[in-house]
Structure 1
Amino acid sequence: MLQRRKPGNEGLEVSALGLGTMMMPDNDDSVLTIQGALDLGVTMFDTADLYGEFMLGRFGGNEKLLGRALKSRREEAIIATKFGVTHGQGPKGDPAYIKKSVDASLYSLGIDYIDLYYQHRVDPNTPIEETLGTLADLVQQGKIRYIGLSEAPADIVRRAHAVHPITAVQTEYSLWSREVEDEVLPVLKELGIGLVPYSPLGRGFLTGQIKKFEDLPEDDYRRLFPRFQGDNFLKNVEVVSLFEKLAAQKGCTPAQLGLAWLLSQGEQIVPIPGTKQLDRVQENLGALQVALTTDDLAEIERISPKGVAAGNRFGAI
């Protein structure tokens, strides 16, 4: 059996690595990848109501894909989805919006309950206490089992957790992006809340597969991000080359080394690397067999200290 972890203290148990499905196209190959991941022992599957068809003004496309893939094996999977990102209206977290969103996600996924339901972005116009009160009601109604937040600052996490236990916070976290270590991660450890890192391999940079800008397809959204552009790209490739050498010394791939480092940062951390390919899922799971020594961790810190990545996480899209 694949290693398990418990994000949060509310009883949720999942595979130590999950699968992010955001970039999966809605086709049979994606279904096979999701089902193959489940066969390999992955139990945590992450989506959101905006993934898949958001740019077309329609929600739920990726949820429908995930629901179709897991339909016959629902009880084997932990399904996480999100609400709160809208078209041109900013983040939403008011009771009416939440109630509409959860029913829409349940319909798209084709399920009776959602295992882990995140607020995708904090609504600055709705007190977090009001949002959590509504989510707590959904727990009581059996529509959701556990509550999560995404990209929430430490003070919001504290306020939310005081209303109803938060099981997990999802945010970007990798050797490329370590801002969460400053304030959020200490609060999560203090309160016993899990951390679910997305983009745990720096949007693919830390896999070592991207050597030049032209390796990115012309329609790849990463071309718009500062870390993949110009001098930033060249500087970042240099860091990755050092990381590749260390991975080779450890007898693993750069992706496995990056995930192993992330897993070593806390027992309640469950990364959700995204991929379209089953062989990449298998490679990522190999990270669970990589044991890092104190010397290894020190060398990783030397190669990739906090702030090492050149360029901002996001650019103008």
Structure 2
Amino acid sequence: MANHPLVSATPLPNFDAIIQFTLGTVASSSAETYQRTFDLWADFCMNHRLHPLDLRPHHVQDFLISQPVTKRTRQRHLAALRKLARTLALDPNYPQFRAVYEALRLMQTPEQNAGGKERERRVLNHHQVMRVLDVWQEDKLIHRRNRALLAVLFYTGLRRAEVRMLRWADLELDTGIIRVRHGKGDKFREVSIITGQEDTAVHALRAYQAALHAATNQNREFVFCSIRKGDKPGKDKPVNVRAINQIVEHTAQQCGVTFTPHDARRTLGTDLLAQSFPVPDVQAQLGHSHASTTIQNYAMPAQARQRRKRFKTSY
């Protein structure tokens, strides 16, 4: 592998060590995404005989263009590499990385050769949400878990990674509050378990909690764990992201409603905004840093007939 062109008298840190340190500075919800980016970056550097800490913008741009993914995924790759450069720039032993980090901050995500297909943004209506939840009606532990997991997605707007890391200690079912200890950007927030025509999510969580306790006869730490053959609970650790995706995909096949975990979040945010709830409240529920994100991604334009009924001029 080629020498690093920015090397100084101080030896550079081990790449794997600096990666692990960087991952330790982000929320678990971001760590998995960052790790995938770092693995791809390491492969790219090996194939092009580059030092993996050579984060100069022209190399990063070549890497991004080489990935046949959507622009949104490229943005996530760039964010991860910026974080890596920032970790190095904060160390006084490596002042040469300050300029590299500042250059990456100014860098725009390249659109050249962007591949893939941007995900369709779906918002489910009331009947579709009910069809989704009704897939899991049997008195089995796996049905109780899956119904509770889907209800949390649709009635809290939590991100998939936030749902998988929930602990029972984070839930206040009597008051309908969930504490998200490590949200996006490793931020803490409290969210409401929103009620619909019924307190669907709270009821689903209570039923699942009772079934889980009956199956284990002990208090568990994590809310959503794996279910083994024979409808037996697995180890007391969070389900992985792939398992959540599989639950959603199987549910969609059974009920005929196509959706993703993020569509559940979008459904809640869009529904709350459509009912004219204040944007700051919806923003806080969803954990957005900026109100513009809430408005641009979740506010759906009203139909012309609906606008005609609501709009009145002052003249």
Q: Same fold (TM over 0.5)?
A: no
Normalised by the size of structure 2, how large is the TM-score?
Answer: 0.27
Q: Which is richer in strand? A: 1
Instruction: Give the number of the structure with larger relative contact order, counting CA–CA contacts within 8 Å between residues 6 or more apart.
Output: 1
Q: Which is richer in helix? A: 2
Normalised by the size of structure 1, how large is the TM-score?
Answer: 0.27
Query: Which protein shows a greater Rg?
Result: 2
